[in-house]
Structure 1
Amino acid sequence: MSSFNFTSSTFILNGIPELESVHIWISIPFFIFYIISLLGNFTVLFVVNKEQTLHKPMFLLLCMLALTDIGMSTCVVPKALCIFWFDFKDITLDGCLTQMFFLYVFAVTQSAILVIMAFDRYVAICDPLRYATILTNARIAKLGLVGLIRAVLLVLPLTLLVRKLPFCTNRVILHTYCEYITVVKMSCGDTIVNRRYGLVITVTNILLDLLIIGLTYGLIIRSVLRISSKKAHRKALNTCTAHICVMLMSYTPFLFSTLTNRYGQGIAVHVHIVLSNLYLLVPPMVNPIIYGVKTKELRDKAGKYTCRM
């Protein structure tokens, strides 16, 4: 098979294979979920910015989470809607690599934020008297910046490795966006380095972050069990429920999508693509709702602005 110069090529994002005839119907939940996620996350950002009483570490973390949610969904959904509505399937090399870079930077940064949130809950429950001195807004901002820098340093080589790959005459990407492993599988060259580096990122980022979060919650549970009052047990654990729900919403579909893409040969392509998109659609939509319901301060302040409208 002949290969072509990747740097001067245009690829075709095929959307969801085998479901092309219902693309217009699939676009409806895509659009609705995206609009709801934008409204919810921008509401969180607006309310926290307006209310001085919410200028606390926990709400600063919520703003960081909202920004990554907006970023992840915006990297994918507008282009997917162009495919579904207008059949605009072409994407240039720069467009593909840019989408891939920002999507994974936001995803890796979000994982870091979830780790910081777990640490925030640990300090709040296990060392509440020192909470204000240990976790200041400035320190949370620095931790968030470290998470962003880590994401850039991990993801940048990912895109550079893709740029070096030779590609054959098949330029159709069977997806709604430039997913890394899907693009790598299209290459007619040696992709062993790309695959291994992608696996390294998954292990060092997601699995390591999950391990840290698991250890943190182990310490939280041990501390809570030392409290004699059952009412205090419930109160302490209730402060963690929103974070646990967000973690489950974020990590579960991501891990399932990653594993099925690498090892799930028996799973239909369109099923994998739908699951990959749900990972980018559902958590950004649900996360503001979870924190709005579970966090009384945020709920009350958001309600105040809603009543004015």
Structure 2
Amino acid sequence: MRAIQITEFGGPEVLRPAEVPDPRPGPDQVLIEVERAGVNYADTHRTEDSYVAATSLPLVPGSEVVGRTPESRRVAALLDGGGYAERAAAPRAMVYDVPDGVDAVTALAMLVQGATAWVLLRRNVHLAEGESVVVHAAAGGVGSLAVQLAKAFGAGRVIATASSEDKRRLALELGADAAVDSRAEDMTAALREANGGQRVDAVLDMTGGRTTDQSLRALAPFGRLAFYGMASREAPSPVDLPALLRHSTTVSGMWLSQAFALPGDVVRQAMTELFDLVRAGRLRAVVGGEYPLAEARRAHEDLRSRATVGKLALDPTR
């Protein structure tokens, strides 16, 4: 079958089309004929071997697909690699039926990015009704959904950050109450100004570096920052524990893979609520681009350059 395979670590240039054997699903796996494969920022880290988990070669990247099972069920599925291909094998426990009326790219967006936004808001920052929340990279896949979910969950004020006027305009269209230039020299002051001069209650941060450092200083007493990525490739300063104590603030990390170990099948609960919101017209995926499978390199280049918004997908049918 056709797939994208990497045999050496590096940038987007290591993503090359290849012919590889069809996957052979085990007893607890489901074979899926892939309709669309999702492209996530985490994929760029796996490609260069800077991901949270160890990566071995050769590798077919891709952690999410939408397609059909041999029984013609239309499903969305999470997997540990193998998504950039015509067919993929997914753990049965991570396969979710796609309701009627939900298109392929929207279903993909709910899998990693929607579930990530849901867990961040529900489990990391425990957003309470009326609170203010900052969403960094608000035009991205997670950010564009987090803006909408924060409003749906009762946030009093949603403050979006993004790097261009067009992206900030999109965040406002999605429901943000204010939009801040992510290149602001003093992010602490910019966030407080956007919140009417007040400190903020919660921050969702996947940027790292000075953005994280300055966002921490913008937190109100008992404020919470959830850290779930480092798109800048710059590590923030070490957390000052006495400062957390003095200001009663909380810093947490979130890697979606850990959510599957939570009791109560939290990710399936998230997927149910996300699909319900989509069908009710209260949540929409921003489609950032659909690329032929062979153009995975270009998709990664566009993603890393921050030239994209919303959800990117690969189409193995072309």
TM-score normalised to structure 2 length:
0.24
Structure with greater helix percent: 1
TM-score normalised to structure 1 length:
0.24
Structure of greater relative contact order (alpha carbons < 8 Å, 6+ residues apart): 1
